[in-house]
Amino acid sequence: MKFLSIIPARGGSKGIPRKNLAKINGRPLIEYSIKAALDVSQITDVVVSTDDKEIADVSRELGAQVPFIRPLELATDKAQSAPVVRHAVEFMEKLKGYTYDAVLMLQPTSPLRKSLHIKKALDIYQSSDIDSLVSVVSVSQHPYRMKKLVGNKLINYIDQGFENMIPRQELPEVYIRNGAIYLCSRSVIIHKKVLVGENCYGLVMDDFESINIDSKLDLVLAETILREGKVG
């Protein structure tokens, strides 16, 4: 199979200025995702999609392909991931002259996602009858315990007909996407224009591996985890 790995990395960021180049243990954030992808032999091409020249230059130095600068309409705060990925697929297929079987999106905000996680995802995809795979992590705050306010009235976010006081250990396991891995067939992204198909596999990752860089606190936390060897 031919796999295209796309690392989307805009130059702009509200929470952390120049986030994709922010340093974690002396290395730019984007380096972790590029290196992880390049270490997986099944991946045919590793591409960074960016609107930023500095990010493009750094990415090329790290070994990724940056054959285009992302169009401005796909680089706004409101731009969604699926059109960005679809643009990259169509550009690369025209450039390379071949068609990919599946597409892997690796967000640079997941520096603790390793090559072993990517390889596992590709192995599962190749050996299963699925059209997509998404990495997830178990939630610590269960939705059965969540509330919402209607005016000043506190009510259950999920109406169970009673106040849920069941011990946490007895509640059903619930997961949330951690943003580390999105893998889908070419048909899902090109024809259905989404990243998650109808037959999607959930790849569970642990809390440490699932750190997503959104704030300066996340940077400190990721540095600490790496420094203490909590993740291989």
pLDDT tens string, the chain, 232 residues long: the values are: 999 999 999 998 777 889 999 999 999 999 999 999 999 999 999 999 999 999 999 999 999 999 999 999 999 888 899 999 999 999 999 999 999 999 999 999 999 999 999 999 999 999 999 999 999 999 988 888 889 999 999 888 888 777 767 777 778 899 999 999 999 999 999 999 999 999 999 999 999 999 999 999 999 999 999 888 766 5
User: 157 with 194, same domain?
Assistant: no
Check: pTM over 0.85? Answer yes or no.
yes
User: 73 with 8, same domain?
Assistant: yes
Q: Structural domain tally of the chain?
A: 2
212 found inside a domain: yes
163 found inside a domain: yes
62 found inside a domain: yes
Task: Give the domain CATH number at 111.
Answer: 3.90.550.10
User: Which domain does 32 fall in, by range?
Assistant: 3-135+177-227
User: 91 with 165, same domain?
Assistant: no
DSSP character string of 120-176: HHHHHHHHSS-SEEEEEEE-SS-GGG-EEEETTEEEESS--SS-----GGGSPP-EE
Whole-number Cα distances in Å, 117 to 9, 106, 171, 203, 227? 20, 11, 27, 9, 20
User: 144 with 118, same domain?
Assistant: no
